[in-house]
Structure 1
Amino acid sequence: MKDFDSNLKYNNRPQNMNGFEEGVEFLPVMNTKKVEKRGPKRKFIFLGVVIGAVLLSLTIGLLVWHFKYRNASMQKIYTGQLRITNYPFLDAYENPSSPEYADLSAKVIEMLKNTYQGVPDLAPHFKQCNVTAFSEGSIIAYYWAEFAVPAYREAALEKAMSELKVKTVYLRHHSLLSVDSLVAFPVDIELARKFRDSGRTFFLHTKTGDVTKFSTSGFPNSPYPANTLCQWALRADPDHVIRLNFKTFKMEPCKTPYGDYVMVYDSLTAVEPRVLVRLCGSYPPSYNLTFLSSQNVMLVTLFTDDKGKHPGFMAEFTQVRKKKFCGENLRGASGVITSPYYPAHYPPDMECVWDIQVPENKHVKLRFNMFYLVGPGDPINSCPNDYVEINKQRYCGERASFVVSSNSSKTMVRFVSDKSYTDTGFTAEYLSYEPSNPCPGQYTCKSGSCISKMLQCDGWNDCRDFSDEDSCICTTEQFRCKKSQLCKPRHYVCDGVNDCGDHSDELECKCPEKSFKCGNGKCIPETQKCDRTDNCGDGSDESDCGKALITTCTDYIYKCKNNECITKNNPECDGEKDCSDGSDEVATMCNCGKRPYSRKTRIVGGVNADIGEWPWQVSLHIKNGLHTCGASLVSTTMLLSAAHCFQDEPAIRYSDPSVWTAYFGVHDQNKRTGNEIMQRKIKRIVAHTGFKDHTFDNDIAVLELDSPVTLTDFIQPICIPDSSHNFPVGKTLWVTGWGATTEGGSGSAILQKAEIRIINQTVCNDVLDNQLTPRMLCAGFLSGGIDACQGDSGGPLSSVEMSNGKVYLAGIVSWGDGCARRNKPGIYTRITKMRDWIKQHTGL
């Protein structure tokens, strides 16, 4: 509702008092009695005038409120659809310029007008209506209708529209329309008006075997125009559904509530209850942007504001035979079920039932390997929208791998999706098992999952329901958490990380009252914190003091180009000029660590990286064409890798630059060609002279390319951190590479990623028999299971900084005792300790 300005002001002109003054006679002051008899005193006259003026103003105000506010008209626009049952669908109805379209459209408009005129709460307020499209079934007409209603009648109008029903309507010339399924939804007035006044619609129809493409204007050579409103009405043949896939999607970053965005509807009219997805920002090419309709129509709408220049999108759609029945009767010892049309987003308005039966003497269980049934604002507890139902229990949301068991040889799986907002869906396998021994040679979780017996009572929730950690007796090498009662390894105590979740493993390490605990464990008086002096010895007492103040220089304090040192943790490239000379925000230094594609991956298993997700990852190949080591792009001509990759062997001189080729933008080692992939020869290799092959100390090397690479969305340099940059214990990092996925196994064709965390250096040194030097960084999990491996050497250990969104090179994959073993975390070259050496040999 708009705010109206009444433009009413109080009238300050003198009132006309002539009529009153004619009855007043001014007498000499001594004749007081006559004065009192001939008229009131002046103050009563004035009071009467004021009261009269107030009453007049109130009267005018009430009249204005009644006629201008209470009866002020509000514009209400509805859009919806209705089904016509007594006409067959003609191909001409797809063409808004055809006479058949115009004739039927006129009939629908007349029917809507007659219907509204018959409803008292609608008739006085109806303004106009129009038909926007037709589709099969028998005929579905899409329309909009406009009303102008006083504010106090708005609720009555909305109620009347929601209850509106029609069946058979007689029209002029003795024709009639049989109508059912009449629905209407209110729409945003501004958007509706803009589309009606300046929007463009493109009508596309695909056939079997056809791939129909469409894109934003100018794609990919020029950005889409600003202030654009357009839509694509997509159609398929009867008994088919539409499969829409966005091949490329690069638009303005998401804003709330507006900005540039795309809406996809399971309809030919834009209404919220039929939205399939709202898209904005950029998506990597491997992200699942495939959507299915429930019928043979779909609407794609584009809204752009007056800012931003981005390429836009390119999409294609095909038609797929509509499933007559969704689900199956499954008989056998094992099998696989998926959501309909997986791995595309499942369609809306679906119901599928799988009736599963395994051999009589076995029980059945389902293992869901991927599960994404998420809609905006879904309450996970009740699952009212999209869900899977098993044994009368509903499952929805985003879930890690989980198992559902049945206590019989039969089970029924029911999948339901509502009419809006679909998701990737699920894939599951059903298995049969012996009721007396569900996990032969393994531990059986309460959920029915099977895990190694070695994982029981190790302090980690391997079952995902904590059943492997229930009723455990802690050994002498373990520590019992207070709240969870979990048994954790004793060397987790006082490692600076809240492993228990309630800090009980760190409580014994607290400093005395009114003391500050340094990052290195030292305790200092609170008064020494933020006093511009490094009392801790690691700078941690001066790193979180709000404003950046000039302080004493140490190895742990950031030094500006003018040699001033400031009290701020990791100030470089955070968007604020903390140095007086601005040297912490130099553009050449800060043009790094950008990830055009950094959205969450939705790939089964969760270890495959997305295309373009780690654009500084480099694959180094020797002459035989095989991936040998990884590296990180740090400028258009320089790479950082591990020195141990370039140590000569009798069969080959790895120190010779001519034997190496660097590949950029690679995702799949089997596909090293394409527009996003580049390759360069190596011009120069500089391995650290202090590298020791028996200790792996100083494990770093610089590689110079024979020619610069061109930076793209798939090729970007990673940021090199300052020597004072703080990567705290417990911080999450990412290790990436094409190395072996199991110890002793073969390398992966697809780039892998793993999320690990920094481990306390003292604790790590204890479990690795004092093999660490200050130039090494320990990261992973002492429980094992996630680690770098053979073939990952030289690759990046990436740190995403929350303050500025940039990614920094925290380490280089160096060595480890096996892969992913317990108490054998991975060791990485610590970049902050090598900063001066890197600058010396790269100039960066």
Structure 2
Amino acid sequence: MKSNRAQKGKGGKKELDAGLKYSHQSQNVNGFEEGVEFLPANNSRKVEKRGSKRWIVLLAVVIFIFLLSLMVGTLVWHFNSQNARVQKIFNGFLRITNENFIDAYENSNSTEFASLASKVKEALKFLYNGIPALGPFYKESGVTAFSEGSVIAYYWSEFSVPQYMVEEVERAISKEYVLSLPPRSRSLQSFNIDSVVAFPTDARTAQTTRDNSCSFSLHARYGEVTRFTTPGFPDSPYPARARCQWVLRGDADLVLSLTFQTFDVAACDDYGSDVVMVYDSLSPVEPRAVVQLCGTYPPSYNLTFLSSQNVMLVTLITNTVRRHPGFKAVFFQLPKMTECGGRLTGAQGTFSTPYYPGHYPPNIDCTWDIEVPRDKNVKIRFKLFYLVEPHKILRNCTKDYVEINGEKFCGEKPQFVVSSKSNKITVRFHSDESYTDTGFFAEYLSYDSRDPCPGMFTCKTGRCINNTLRCDGWADCTDYSDELGCVCNSTYQFTCKNKLCKPLYWVCDGLNDCGDNSDEQQCSCPAHTFRCGNGKCISESQKCNKQDNCGDGSDEAGCESVWTVPCTTHTYKCLDGVCLSKGNPECDGKSDCSDGSDEKNCDCGLRSFSKQSRIVGGQNSDVGEWPWQVSLHVEGQGHLCGASLISSTWLVSAAHCFVDEPGIRYSDPTLWKAYMGLHDQSQRSAKGVQERGFKQIISHEAFNDFTFDYDIAVLELDKPVEFSSVIRPICLPDSSHTFPAGKTIWVTGWGHTKEGGTGALILQKGEIRVINQTICESLLPNQLTPRMMCVGFLNGGVDACQGDSGGPLSSVEDDERMFLAGVVSWGEGCARRNKPGVYTRVSLLRDWIRKKTGV
């Protein structure tokens, strides 16, 4: 997850009557008496002609005066606009070369600080007055802080600049200056400064230097962690429309490590959102900005940043009145890195950017010289690579980059390989003075150039992949070399016009999977017709005509207007019994039912943290990313199944989890414990985790433990849970809710990470897609019922497995709200090719859930 003006005018002319004109009056024109005489009638034309001249002369005079006024007004406006004064604030820093830093300079209220600051301001005034482009417009300067080296002064300077001079002033201020001429002021004798630099600054940021109401100064101590928060955290929101700053210091020759443990400010938008900036400096200048943050981050997200020196500046500018708690942060000092990189030898090994997986520090260069055995070649495999700048990155990677074999790499990249033609290779990493990222993690490998990937397929990039991934419809090589020159398997693959192979169930799903749209071209209906969701073609005139001509309601579901229609299995029914033409209207933020019932009970399916059976081929989830995920434990056996929280007292799971076996009655609610808010199975007593027992377990009365039809159960907790940032319910879909083929859905759980493997400690997540029911039935003949849905990939790779049973299949809608599309049920093995996972279709069992739970 947007006048024309017309003017009319009219004029007229009253003609002079022919004949005699007589006046008893005389008119004084320009000081002369002019009498009016009798004229013969045959001079009437001459009279009219003379009157016309006067009118033309008068009009010309008026036009001349108007044009003259317009010209004068334009010149005045131009002069005023060009000379209109603009306030320009510049932040900067300079080095005092003949001073040594003392502790008193940390205290802005000390006499030592005031004395040195006075000299700096006088020096700046002297410097700027000597520069023609700056001196006439200079107003004042202020010193905000000092730091080591010998002494660095951080300052702001204000100029009042005519509009037409702004660009010239900015060019002049951007140069680096050295005060080389002897000062005229006696107070500046033997006061030496150099490296005077300044940068244009947002006037809002400059306000922080003059308002100390939300300004803090902190100094790290050896071996200690210092904590700080936004004002009022966590009991009240940070102040609205505030300007706050935290000056962070460490001891000389050390660097600082800053971590935001909790971060929740107003969401990022284009309308002046609240923003936190971190600078590798005590002056808020863009070229020294380390990171810009806004929005909300889960606690597990990496928000650790390093400085290149012993100071840091954190600023918070709030432009909204939204209520957010703010942040909690810690920082400490650590030794400055004396060297970065080194010599690496051996057949293989790993290396990474400094402080990985934290953000690497700014202004650093590292070089690794890698050498493998002489009879081998060497290649570098970058497993993770994040060198992203918030601004546009040039193709030649002029800011942060990795350089190998004369080629530079930057930005965000999937796993890739770089190889050499010998047993040696050099990797150089450069970080400039501004924005940093988490960097890279890489391994170096030795290989035989005659057979670089023994028993595997070699991508043109040098990456090795399993031969089974060749021509499977998925680009496992970043250059697509594993999918080029393939012969598609017509049993389960579609051949695109560009010769790529794609899964058959992606054909006609409304998505351009081939890249040339050939998988969708054969799906179109004739001209002036509409293609229904079930593939049927109807006349365009039958679309949005308040009748279900398609048979599945798709011709009425996407209409701009919503109206009542006869109730069918495809329509949404309001509480008052009225059915709507709109598809999936529940909890979409728009009240479509006249009684508002489609938007009732919608406090569900939203996550405090959103980033963007075990899960085979999945990845670790973030804390709080799936707040409805529940872990079900049996005494003495640990985690056995998953479940989904649908209210403060009810869960949904799979009925097969509670089938009795010889020696143990899994249907006994007293054997089970439910853990909500759990992320790591080894930390069930962690803060935020809530444990509950069960009052009752209700499996569907029609559940068949041979076919797994109606594989659903609801569980009542012995006492309600308290909702939090990591515990929230998921929305239940209406019985008419549709999840079309090709739709992306997430499966989560702590089950086995591979078939026959062991369970995961960290909650896993996997992104899969709904498979066309007809194709799935052809792959699993005589095994599916209408209560089942296939979700996964036909080529395998990502799937649920043992221990994931009963867990949620979460489907996200347009407003980021999640619905429980399915329950993990069964499958043939885990993540096998052409054996997708099978899930209980929750929408068809919605009425049963409501009957048993009231939810």
State the match for 1:57 in structure 2.
Answer: 69
- Partner residue, 2:289: 275
CA distance in 2, matches of 1:113, 1:380: 38
Where does structure 2 lack aligned partners over 5 or more consecutive residues?
1-26
- Name the stretch that deviates more: 419-428 or 558-567: 558-567
1:623-682 deviations in Å (ceiling 9; x for gaps): 126011100000011100000001111121111111111100000000011331111111
**Residue in 2 aligned with 1:247?**
261
| Counterparts of residues 503-582 of structure 1 (less than 5 Å) | 503-582=517-596
Q: Structure 1 segments of 4 or more deviating over 6 A?
A: 19-22, 39-42
The structural deviation recorded for 1:155 is 2.4
- 1:418 corresponds, among 432, 453, 464, to 432
* 1:775 equivalenced with 2:787 (yes/no): yes
**Partners of 2:394 and 2:828 in 1: CA distance:** 42
**Pair 1:496–1:187, CA change in 2 (3 A):** closer
Question: What's the counterpart of residue 156 of structure 1?
Answer: 168
Alignment correspondent of 1:168: 180
How far residue 43 of structure 1 moved from its aligned partner, in angstroms, is: 4.8
Asked whether the 8 Å contact 2:246–2:314 carries over to 1, the reply is yes
1:266 alignment partner in structure 2: 280
Q: 2:157 aligns with which of 136, 141, 145?
A: 145
CA drift of 1:151 comes to 1.4
Deviation by residue 1:160-216 (Cα, 9 ceiling, x = unmatched): 222352243534336233222221101112442465246532111112211111101
Q: Does 2:375 match 1:361?
A: yes
The residue aligned with 2:457 is: 443
Residue among 33, 47, 70 paired with 1:25 = 33
1:116 paired to 2:124? no
Shift in alpha-carbon separation, 1:80–1:225, aligned structure 2, 3 A: same
- Distance, in Å, in 2 between the alignment partners of 1:554 and 1:434 is 66
Residue 497 of structure 1, CA deviation: 6.3
Determine the structure 2 residue equivalent to 1:807: 818
Partner of 2:478: 464
Q: 1:590 to 1:451 in 2, by over 3 A?
A: same
Residue 825 (str. 1) matches residue 836 (str. 2): yes
1:608 aligns with 2:620: yes
Q: Secondary structure at the match of 1:25?
A: strand
Q: Deviations over 1:12-31 (max 9, x none)?
A: xxxxxxx9978243645549
- Retained in 2: the 8 A contact 1:380–1:397? no
- 1:81-480 aligned at under 5 Å gives the runs 81-163=93-175, 165-171=177-183, 172-173=185-186, 175-193=189-207, 195-197=209-211, 200-379=214-393, 381-475=395-489, 477=491, 479=493
SS, match of residue 518 in structure 2:
coil
AA matched with 2:791: A
CA distance in structure 2 between the partners assigned to 1:459 and 1:65 by the alignment: 67
* Equivalent position amino acid for 2:277 in 1: M
Residues 573/113 of structure 1: CA separation in 2 closer, same or farther (3 Å cut): same
2 CA distance for matches of 1:43 and 1:72?
A: 43
Deviation at 1:526, TM superposition (A): 2.8
Query: Does the C-alpha gap of structure 1 residues 40 and 473 become closer, same or farther in structure 2, counting only changes over 3 Å?
Result: closer
Q: Cα deviation per residue 1:252-303 (whole Å; 9 max; x = unaligned)? A: 2222241222111111111112111111111100000001111111100011
2-structure distance, mates of 1:287, 1:49: 76
Letter in 2 for 1:438: P
Q: Tell me which moved more, 437-446 or 286-295.
A: 437-446
CA distance in 2, matches of 1:646, 1:243: 50
- Which of 731, 735, 738 in structure 2 is aligned with 1:719? 731
SS at match of 1:101: helix
The farther-off stretch of 111-120 and 438-447 is 438-447
Q: Deviation at 1:101?
A: 1.3
Q: Aligned pair in 2 of structure 1 residues 208, 87: CA closer, same or farther (>3 Å)?
A: same
Give, in angstroms, the shift of residue 686 of structure 1.
0.5
Question: For each residue in 1:591-610, what CA deviation from the matched residue of structure 2 results, as whole angstroms up to 9, or x when unmatched?
Answer: 1101010113xxxx970000
- Alignment deviations for residues 755-795 of structure 1 (CA, whole Å, 9 cap, x no partner): 00000001011111231100001000000010000000000
- Which range moves more in the overlay, 265-274 or 436-445? 436-445
Structure 1 pair 356–585 and aligned structure 2 pair: CA distance change class (3 A): same
**Is 2:853 the partner of 1:842?**
yes
Distance change (3 Å), C-alpha of 1:549 and 1:312:
same
Flag structure 1 segments of 5+ consecutive residues without an equivalent. Answer: 1-18
What is the CA-CA distance between 1:567 and the residue it aligns to?
1.5
SS across alignment from 2:775: helix
Deviations 1:672-710 (A, max 9, x none): 113311111111111001100110000000001111111
Is contact 1:478-1:487 (8 Å) kept? no
Q: How far apart are the structure 1 equivalents of 2:264 and 2:179?
A: 46
Distance 2:661 2:39 in 1: 134
The equivalent residue for 1:732 is 744
Residues 53-83 of structure 1: CA distance to partner in whole angstroms, max 9, x if unpaired? Answer: 5366347525633653232211111111111
What secondary structure does 2:648 align onto?
Answer: coil
In structure 2, the CA distance between the partners of 1:63 and 1:399, relative to structure 1 (3 Å rule), is closer
**Alpha-carbon distance between aligned partners in 1 of 2:60 and 2:772, rounded to the nearest angstrom:** 87
Moved more, 434-443 or 165-174: 165-174
Name the CA shift for 1:149/1:20 in 2 (closer, same or farther; >3 Å). Answer: farther
Say if 1:598 and 1:475 are closer, same or farther in 2 by CA, change over 3 A: closer
Contact kept in structure 2, 1:195 and 1:230, CA below 8 Å: no
Q: Secondary structure at the match of 1:176?
A: coil
SS state at 2:799 partner = coil
Aligned length: 816
Amino acid in the other structure paired with 2:388: V
User: What CA distance in whole angstroms lies between the structure 2 residues aligned with 1:360 and 1:135?
Assistant: 50
Within 1, Cα distance between the matches of 2:75 and 2:335? Answer: 64
Root-mean-square deviation over aligned CA pairs: 2.5
* Residue in structure 2 matching 1:75, options 87, 106, 115: 87
Match of 1:156, SS state, is helix
Which piece of structure 1 moves more, 66-75 or 269-278?
Answer: 66-75
Taking a change above 3 Å as real, the CA distance of residues 513 and 150 of structure 1, as seen in their structure-2 partners, is closer
Contact 1:231 1:299 in 2 (8 A): yes
State how 1:742-781 maps to structure 2 within 5 Å: 742-781=754-793
SS at match of 1:155: helix
- Give the whole-Å Cα distance in 1 for the aligned partners of 2:493 and 2:677: 46
| Structure 1 contact 681–706 (Cα < 8 Å) conserved | yes
On the 8 A contact 1:494/1:509 being kept in 2, the answer is yes
Matches within 5 A, 1:639-650: 639-650=651-662
Q: Which moved more, 1:120-129 or 1:758-767?
A: 120-129
Alignment check: 8 A CA contact 2:274 2:320 kept: no
Q: Deviations over 1:375-430 (max 9, x none)?
A: 12333633222111111122122122222222210001111112211111111111
For the pair 1:623 / 2:631, whether they are aligned, the reply is: no
**Distance in 1 of aligned mates of 2:539 and 2:140:** 76
Q: What secondary structure, in the 3-state scheme, does the structure 2 residue paired with 1:594 have?
A: coil
